[in-house]
Amino acid sequence: MNETHLCLVLGGARSGKSRHAEALVEALPAPWRYIATAQAFDEEMKARIRHHQARRGTGWETVEAPLDLVQALEESGDLPVLIDCLTLWLTNLLLNKTPIDPATDRLMAALKARRGTTVLVSNEVGLGIVPENVLARDFRDAAGILHHRLAAHAHAVHFMVAGIPMIVKKST
């Protein structure tokens, strides 16, 4: 990947998205920045976070940014950045009653302004049934719209299936 590379890694739960994204970033010279959006509200989520942290080697710096990804990106300078994950970020925005459109506009502007490599991880949630409640439908729609916008701007889009990356988009 070159210094202005933006890669979107999509997939379902336990598809290998994070491991693949970490390997993409680790192909670049360290140090690397991991921008984490998860919030540990219960023991199960705390264990998931510890698992993710334990498998990353030296060279990684973790920044927690459950809501303000733009500030975290701006503070990252030209470092290679991995954001994991955008669907958790959207969930945090929805639960915080933060307007989605302005937040995603700010994120897109920050990504377009970056000079360093950025790898984004997000769950593809549009392949299932139509959710039965308004909040879940709003989330699914917001994720789909965000993915459209990111994919249009990204140099590469990878879709993970059973730990195998499928290259959906690759710029030349």
Active centre residues (catalytic)? 52
Q: Is residue 80 packed enough to be buried (19+ CB in 10 Å), middle (13-18) or exposed (0-12)?
A: buried
d(CA 140, CA 134): 10
The two three-digit tokens of residue 95, written as one number: 């639960």
Q: What is the residue whose two structure tokens read 């459950």?
A: 66
- Which residues, including other chains, have CB under 8 Å from residue 35's CB and lie 6 or more apart? 62, 63, 65, 69, 72, 73, 76, 81, 82, 83, 84
Q: What is the residue whose two structure tokens read 């990353």?
A: 56
The two three-digit tokens of residue 21, written as one number: 């994204």
- Residue 61 vs residues 79, 86, 108: alpha-carbon distances, Å: 10, 18, 23
d(CA 86, CA 38): 9
